[in-house]
Amino acid sequence: MLTVNHLSKSFGKVQAVKNVSFNVRKGSTFAFLGTNGSGKSTVIHMMIDLLKPDTGVISIRDNVLLGVVFQSHRLDEELSIETNLMIRAKLYGMSTTNAKKNIKQLLELTNLFSIRHRLYGNCSGGEKRKTDIIRALIHRPDMLILDEPTTGLDAESRKEVWTLLQRLQREQGLTIFLTTHYIEEAAHVDYVVMMHEGEIKVEGTPDELRNRYAKTTLILDVNNSEEVKQVLQDQVYEINENKVYINIESNKEAIPILRKVEKNIINFSIKEANLERVFLQITDQIKNEVI
């Protein structure tokens, strides 16, 4: 649906985006991750033609409609939810009949219909964000671009937003392009790109990245590390004072190890591989390269 080839952008002497390339498949969820200043928003602004790239090509399949949810709220605080949405629908060139129909469906889907006359400025953060998403969906886009859509929301509101997005993708085949600071939000997407200082550092499916950069670790608190060393002669492990760290492929692999050293265990825990650990691992590697 979307192809970006060798995209670069500078602001004066600062190169914000450096030779970035990626593809987004139809119907997928694509996560664009990175720290503040990594270039994520600059790429999005070029994708939606708010900025012109210095070099590179952005190709969007013919007749693809885009919807965009920006980091900050863009609706009128002094108007109601419904009025804000009607104005945006008119800007999309929609007829009054179609606009009312789509707005009603989306307000019901997001549980906002009962407060549709509330001033946007009087809404909670979660209500505002859901209204922002409706605004981007009124014209039934094929791809929804979300620039940190849940920043500043509490856990409950974030969950509501994601429930809505997953339902829309399931029912309408919506393609989602996401940037986020919440790494766990990218755990179940189809493809992940991680940026740092304007460059793509790693990319792949969440499972590929977890397998490549982070391992599930069994952590043992033991009362006699020397005895444990003897028992674990055939096991690859690290030991630090009375803590033993063993990388395992799955939680189930911990069972025979625990049985072997049961009498020496004071406590144990399992630290599972996840995208946050991948992100931290890659960030540490980058820092070490710089040093």
pLDDT of residue 161: 81
pLDDT at 138 over 90: yes
pLDDT tens track for 85-99:
999 999 999 999 999
Enter the pTM of the model: 0.79
Residue 132 makes CB contacts below 8 A (sequence gap 6+) with 69, 70, 73, 74, 75, 149
Tokens linked to 147: 């620039």
At 170, is the pLDDT very low, low, confident or very high (cuts 50, 70, 90)? Answer: confident
Provide the pLDDT for residue 91.
Answer: 93
Q: What pLDDT does residue 87 have?
A: 96
Higher pLDDT, 224 or 137: 137
Q: Which residues contact 197 (CB under 8 A, 6 or more apart)?
A: 18, 37, 38, 39
Residue 102 has pLDDT above 50, yes or no: yes
What average pLDDT score do residues 172-187 get?
A: 84
Residue partners of 118: CB distance under 8 A and separation at least 6: 80, 81, 127
Residue 291 has pLDDT above 50, yes or no: no
- Structure tokens of 43? 């790429």
The total of other beta-carbon atoms located within 10 Å of residue 291's CB is 5
